[in-house]
Structures are given as C-alpha cells and as structure tokens.
Amino acid sequence: MSKNGSITITVEGSNNSASMPLLGGTLGPLVADIRKLYSSLGIFTYDPGYGETASCESKITYIDGDEGVLLYRGYPIEQLAEKSDFIEVCYLLMNGELPNAEQLEKYRKDVTHHTMVHEQLRRFYDGFRRDAHPMAIMCGVVGAMAAFYHDNLDINDERQREVAAFRLIAKVPTIAAMAYKYALGQPFVYPRNDLSYAANFLYMLNSVPAEPYEISPVLARAMDLILILHADHEQNASTSTVRLAGSTGANPFACIAAGIAALWGPAHGGANEAVLKMLAEIGTKDKIPAFIEQVKDKNSGVKLMGFGHRVYKNFDPRAKIMKETCHEVLAELGIKDSPLLDMAMEMERIALTDEYFISRKLYPNVDFYSGIILKAMGIPTSMFTVIFAVARTVGWVSQWKEMIEDPSQRIGRPRQIYTGAGVRDYAGLDKR
C-alpha cells in the first residue's frame, strides 16, 4: 500500500479533529486508514455488512463491479478460463504467479496424491441420515479432518500450512462426492490419479462399480470452468468468515468448515439453487410473462433470481463464459425438450431484450448459467452449493495462508452500536 494524502475528520460543534491517511492499492479506490480514529476522537464507524470497509490487504483477487472486471493475481478471468485449467489456477492463487511446466507438473502430483481420505473418515457418513443435506455433511466431515491430520495443525509452520492446503484442495472433492453417493445409497468411489481434477470429480460423482463410466470431454471442461470461475471472489461473506475464524489461530480445517457453513446460505452459495427453485415455482414456459409482470411490480414481493449481481453493476464477466459453456453442454447432451431448461432459455431471451432488464442492467449472472449446466448434467440442486464449495476451497485456503503470513493481521473484533437498556439495578422476583 502507498500513502496518497489524507482526510481530516472533525466532530461537528467542537475543536476535535484528526487527520487520517489515505492508502492506495495497485487498483481500486483510495481507502481511509481509520485505525487511530477511536484513540484520536473517541468514535467508531458504523458500516453494517462492511460494504464500505476494507478488512484486510490482499494480493489475490480484484473486482471492479462497475466495469465488470475480475482478476486473479492480475490476470483477467476471461483469459484464465480460455487458456488455463483449474489446477493451474489453483497454483496461481496459492503462489502468486503462473507456474512453468516443471512447477505445474509437480503441483499436479502434489494435489493428485492427496485425493484419498482416511478410511476411518468414511465412517462419519454412517452417522448422518440418508436425507441429510450434503452441505451439512460437508461442514461436519471437513471440520473433522483436524482429528485425522495432526501433522499439519501448526499454523506457524510454513511447510505444515502447505501440506494442509494440498490436503484440503485434493480431498474436498472426494468428501463431496462421498456425500452425494451416501444420499443415493451407492458405494463410495475412490479417486483416480490418472484423471484431471474436474474429470476425477465427475467420475467419483457418477460412476458405479457395475459398469464402466465414460467421461465426456465437453462435460469435464464445463466442470473445470465452473471450478475456475468460482475459485475466488475477493472478500465475500464466506471468505471473510474464513479469515475471521483464522484470525483466532484456529486450524485450517476448522476455518474452511466455517467457510462452508457461511457458503450454505441462499443469499451466497445457494444462489444457483435458488434459480432452479424459481423456475420450478413458475411452473411452465407460458407463465413466464405473468411472472415477469410480478417482478416489475414492487409491491408483489416476487424476487428475480440469477439476474444482476450485488457486486457487478454492469455485467458479470463470468456469466459470458458460462453462457457459451451452457449451450455447449446442452448440445453435447442433446437436451431439447426439457421444460425446466426451456424456461431458463426463455428467461434468458427476455432478460436480453426487455427494456426493464436492460435499463436496470439485470443481465443473467454466473449463478443462472451454472445452475442450468449442473441441472443438465443430472446433478441434483442439493449438490450445487457443494460444488461451489469444492471450487472455492482453493480461494479460501489462499486467503487463509495470506492472512496467517501477514504480520499486520490482528484477531477480528468488530465494534457495535449498543441500543439496549441503560444501566439498571437488579430487582428480586418478589418485586418484578
């Protein structure tokens, strides 16, 4: 960070004022450094949701919502999606630079040879009901990894942090696939080290011992893209949760489990699941116009899911990539008469032509297209957020490592405005 002048804050009606330095990063707006605000003026700031507050310094991801820009370590997401694969993106996020051929090969091997989970960890699944939500299983099993891998719980040891990172990135897909198989009542499928990360994940999700499973290159690439596009997204709710948990010195498995719990919320990781729920509630394609009219009516309370984005005020750069992939997947699978997917395509058409959507920049976002892709691939909606967690694990791990290695990082301790009762005396039961 560099200093770029200062601002002066004055308490109105008094002579109390304080100068706060303005800090600048590589990209983005200036930030007022208010760390000495309370000691100087005796006041705090109030920012519900931290929408105007930088909680940390990071070199990993940059978003410009107004311009529709997403960068991983400075590289545009469009270029990475076109030219890279998920493992290379993992290396980039964790290490800061793209690998050379030798580094990439070693990294692939390091991840690949950690994909197996401890056999005793399999027994945890027997404790869950068959109809348990897979995200509930993910929270429990990922957190339980700390009970099995004692050799990398020292967060102050660089090598132990690295091994923990490999274990999480490699094993979370295996744990996710096992949660899916458990719900189906099918046997767990062991990972295959001869497959790519995305292809191996599809294999563990879909194969059964009774017959061979052929992996479509189109579907494997689609899954790879979904993972790349969801790998990190700056200081969102789940990433901030991971950092906040990590600031206490908690072990990495507990921190990632906390991130998974935060991701579970429908306002965050459940957004693509909400898209298909919305389409199911509409019912049929002929009812879409009536639904759109309800959306336009502010008093109807009807919400539009999968269009627009809290961060991207112009367009979601990931959605453009997912749109093309979506149509490739539908063509690969020969899907032409699915009512739900027909509805989705009609919603897309309306959003791109209706003035109401265009004027408000309510373009289809990445959740809209990823939901359609996963549905077309036969993956149940309950697994959508799980796949999001598989993708985001590398982002969480990278953010956690960066935070641990940042000498200026302190334990998270937000302030509050207290609006409860003032000081009062206790009254006995006979006087209440």
66 is catalytic: no
CA-closest candidate to residue 1, choices 24, 22, 33 = 24
Residue of 224, 233, 309, 316 with catalytic role = 309
Distance, CA of 148 to CA of 145 (rounded, Å): 5
Query: With the C-alpha atoms ordered 104, 105, 106, 112, is the resulting torsion angle positive or negative?
Result: positive
Crossing angle of helices 86-95/101-112, nearest 10°? 100
Residue of 224, 232, 316, 367 with catalytic role = 367
Bridge partners, 364 (sequence order): 307
Bridge partners, 208 (sequence order): 211
367 is catalytic: yes
Question: Is the Cβ–Cβ distance between 403 and 238 less than 8 Å?
Answer: no
Catalytic amino acids? 309, 367
